[in-house]
Amino acid sequence: MSTGHPTYRGRLAPSPTGFLHLGHARTFWTAWRRARAAGGRLVLRNDDLDRDRVRPEFIRGFLEDLRWLGLDWDEGPDCGGPLRPYSQSERMSHYATVLAQLRAGGWIYPCTCSRRDILSAVAAPHAGDEEPVYPGSCRGRKLEELPAGTRFSWRFRVPDGGSVGFTDARLGPQVFVAGRDFGDFIVWRHDGLPAYQLACVSDDIAMQITEVVRGADLLASTARQLLLYRALGAEPPGFFHGPLVTDESGVRLAKRHESLSLRALRAQGRTPEELCAGWECASV
Ligand code: GLU
Ligand code: ZN
């Protein structure tokens, strides 16, 4: 029943590995504003794949903090919706299907390198976490040729020298070169968990997201993800990369900036109106 004019569908995708800080708040507020301005729908997705770091109080925490901020959503783990489930930990069969599709298309290969970055692939590589370009050591490997019991991850083969371009709704034209700006990347970890890039793209497709709003530190991940959309034969959404919030010395906010967590700010008597007013001015 395609009308050719799909309704705007946006998403908020918090990772419950800590409490939300001002940087998350700004991104989520922007995503909410854009969805509401477009008369669209907003999905809340619980990105809870990182089982070593996820804690239930952080899930309760983001629900409470987002509501305190004044945001609302139409589908999510707390309110359900037609494309449920909305928690990534409950969507494993879905990711397995996408992995099988990538395998069938010959887009991925088993990588036996056991580096720390393979383990960290479950989380989105925010600024400063970008891994060095993978040298392609395992490119020629075939699953059938690995000795039984070998531990391996699945890696996506990027087209070396190929450019990946897109027009960001805030920043304008962007171009990344595969093999230079990023290399072959992990889509499935050897411990059986999908990597952030695969889980995110699978869900953004399945949840029919038409625009992804995220921080500008994920621009290179967007480029990787566009290669996944291509490989899966799926139409990519639009992208809006919002400004990053930094502390007074210009460092991007991270979990260690506890004083800038929404709950700390709330405890200090700051109001959501005050926080959002500043972003409002900056976004027009
Ligand atoms: N849960 C991811 C994060 O917070 C989502 C990133 C994205 O927007 O794709 O880093
Ligand atoms: Zn390897």
- What was the pLDDT predicted at 61? 98
Q: Which fold has domain 91-200?
A: Rossmann fold (3.40.50)
What is the structure's pLDDT at 284?
45
| Ligand found nearest the CA of 117 | 2
User: Does the fold of domain 91-200 match that of domain 1-90+246-284?
Assistant: yes
Nearest CA, atom 10, ligand 1: 124
SS3 of 178, please? strand
Q: What is the pLDDT of residues 115-132, one digit of tens each?
A: 665 667 778 888 777 778
CATH architecture assignment, domain 1-90+246-284: 3-Layer(aba) Sandwich (3.40)
User: Does 142 qualify as catalytic in the annotation?
Assistant: no
Q: Is 214 in the pocket of ligand 1 (CB under 6 A)?
A: yes
Nearest atom in ligand 1 to 11's CA: 8
Determine the pLDDT at residue 256. Answer: 67
Catalytic residue among 255, 259, 274, 278: 255
CA nearest ligand 1 atom 8, residue: 214
Q: Which atom of ligand 1 is nearest to the CA of 213?
A: 8
Q: Minimum-distance ligand to the CA of 47?
A: 1
- Using DSSP, state whether 25 is helix, strand or coil: helix
Ligand 1 center–CA 278 separation, angstroms: 23
Look at the block and give the residue holding tokens 């729908």: 41
The pLDDT tens digits of the residues spanning 60-71 come to: 999 999 999 999
Looking at the chain, how many residues does it have? Answer: 284
Question: Residue 76 has what pLDDT?
Answer: 98
Domains of the chain by residue range: 1-90+246-284, 91-200
Q: Given the DSSP bridges, would you call strands 163-168 and 172-177 parallel, antiparallel or unpaired? A: antiparallel
User: C-alpha distances in angstroms, 234 versus 87, 98, 229?
Assistant: 22, 12, 5
The parts of the chain modelled with pLDDT lower than 50 are 1-2, 4, 284
**The pLDDT value given to residue 53:** 95
- Give residue 139's identity as a one-letter amino acid code: R
